[in-house]
Amino acid sequence: MIIVLKPHTSEEEIQQVMEKVRQAGLTPHISTGAERTVIGAIGSDAPSKKEIFEALPMVEKVVLILKEYKLVSRDFKPQDTIVKVGDVEIGGDEVVVMAGPCAVENEKLLIQAALAVKAAGGRILRGGAFKPRTSPYSFQGLGVEGLKLLAKAREETGLPVVTELMDARDIDVVAKYSDMIQIGARNSQNFTLLKEVGMTNKPVLLKRGISGTIKELLMSAEYIRSEGNNQIVLCERGIRTYEDSTRNTFDLSAIPVVKSLSHLPIIADPSHALGKRDYVPAMALAAVAAGAHGLMIEVHVNPAEALCDGPQATYPHVFMELMKTCRRVAEAIGKKMPYVPIS
């Protein structure tokens, strides 16, 4: 349930309510807005204890949350959450683009891609150091060496870094070298891993599962949020259906649906959704028009020789033109993007 406090409630009174929640055997989660403070009281028997909190003088009202995902729902927090990655804010007026190669292959290619991403107006560098592959014989990534190269690219360009975490045993080293931790589609319901990243203070990019429903995506986010980490960005990256014209089926409707259900930002990854670079620009523009808070685009300087997902990687010059067009679409719906010089 949600305990809505009256305006101008003192810090001492807030702590009194928090303690009352604990005494009732519930777990408190606080959300401070511009005018009011809201306390989520989470527990299986929370509804039966509603009257306890309604009687408190500093409480304005108590509302039961019927959804299974509580802390990530708009019922708990009506205003949008802003997630800060380095000096980049996701969830506000700017459409934030994360871009870079699928996998870190070597220093030269990574730096070239990072410079191209920055020149086009990309705000965050993406790149995989640990790669989950369908075949055990495919390139699995450079591991820790790849993380160090990403950190070097950050020094070179100033771009914050997002990279995937696959194993809870690697959480410390991934957190050390990255600015944002990605949980990929295959680990979207790895609940042990979700709880581990929930206990960190790092922003988390959570991708929708390969066949995951929107509710399942939000429940996975709830696992992270319930451990204390409220810096979560959701990602629509396509789901598996019977259609095989593209790698996955890009669920464009997920963007407005998620925005109506949750206060968390949502971005789109058309590269993984489609699997074919020729279709990426159209769906990237569609995602911006649908209200996505950002995009994740694969960019490689030589996709033909990429060790991972070359067919979906965008050439730097195409990415530059895409960013210019995205900016015009963003402006048409009242959003903004970094200015890209017209060549």
* Side chain identity at residue 35, one-letter code: E
Q: What is the mean pLDDT of residues 175-184?
A: 97
Which pLDDT does position 11 carry in this prediction?
Answer: 92
Is 106 domain-assigned? yes
Task: Tell me the DSSP string of 224-261.
Answer: HHHTT---EEEEE--B--S--SSSSB--TTHHHHHHHH
pLDDT tens track for 132-154: 656 665 656 788 999 999 999 99
Q: Are residues 188 and 250 in the same domain?
A: yes
Residues 121 and 33 in one domain: no
Q: Domain for residue 121, yes or no?
A: yes
Q: What is the pLDDT of residue 65?
A: 87
Does residue 245 share a domain with residue 120? Answer: yes
Among 60-69, 87-96, 191-200, the minimum mean pLDDT is found in: 60-69
CA-to-CA dists, residue 236 to 66, 136, 185, 217, angstroms: 25, 26, 10, 9
55 with 141, same domain: the answer is: no
Element counts in the chain: helices (H) and strands (E): 11, 14
Determine the average pLDDT of the residues in 175-194: 96
Nearest to 191 by CA among 180, 182, 183, 202: 183
Across the range 303-315, mean pLDDT stands at 88
Is 229 a domain residue?
A: yes
Structural domain including 236 reads: 83-332
Residue 339 falls inside a structural domain:
no
7-66 per-position pLDDT tens digit: 989 999 999 999 999 999 999 999 887 778 999 999 888 888 999 999 999 999 999 988
Take residue 211 and report the two structure tokens written for it: 């066949």
Report yes or no on 338 lying in a domain.
Answer: no
Identity of the residue numbered 288: V
Same domain, yes or no: 256 and 175: yes
pLDDT at 308: 82
At residue 261, φ and ψ (nearest 5 deg) are -95, -30
User: Above 70 in pLDDT, residue 131?
Assistant: no
* Same domain, yes or no: 121 and 258: yes
CB 49 within 8 A of CB 26: yes
- Looking up residue 59, the CATH number of its domain turns out to be 3.30.70.1140
Q: Would you say residue 221 lies in a domain?
A: yes
Q: Which of 30-39, 83-92, 95-104, 218-227 has the lowest mean pLDDT?
A: 30-39
pLDDT band at 306 (very low <50, low <70, confident <90, very high): confident
For the cut 90, the answer to whether the pLDDT of residue 72 exceeds it is yes
Give the C-alpha separation, 248 to 246, whole Å. 5
Q: Looking at 12, 31, 63, which one is the last position of a domain?
A: 63
Q: Does one domain contain both 280 and 138?
A: yes
Quote the number of domains for the chain. 2
106 and 56 co-located in one domain: no
* pLDDT (0 to 100) of residue 194: 98
CATH number of the structural domain spanning residue 218:
3.20.20.70
Mean pLDDT of the chain: 93
Residue 137: the pLDDT is 54
pTM over 0.85: yes
Establish if 70 belongs to a structural domain.
Answer: no
Supply the pLDDT for residue 342. 57
* Whole-number Å distance between alpha carbons of 155 and 141: 21
Of 17, 34, 63, the last residue of a domain is 63
Residues 172 and 306 in one domain: yes
Residue 340 is assigned to a structural domain of this protein: no
Residues 306 and 179 in one domain: yes
* C-alpha span between 231 and 203 (Å, rounded): 5
Q: Report whether pLDDT(266) > 90.
A: yes
Dihedral sign (CA 207, 211, 217, 219): negative
Q: Are residues 203 and 237 in the same domain?
A: yes
- The proportion of the chain whose per-residue pLDDT surpasses 90, expressed as a percent, equals 83
Regarding whether 328 and 299 lie in a shared domain, the answer is yes
User: Is residue 340 pLDDT above 80, yes or no?
Assistant: no
- In the predicted structure, residue 291 carries a pLDDT above the cut 70: yes
Q: Give the separation between CA 279 and CA 115, rounded to whole angstroms.
A: 24
Q: How many CB atoms lie within 10 A of CB 309?
A: 21
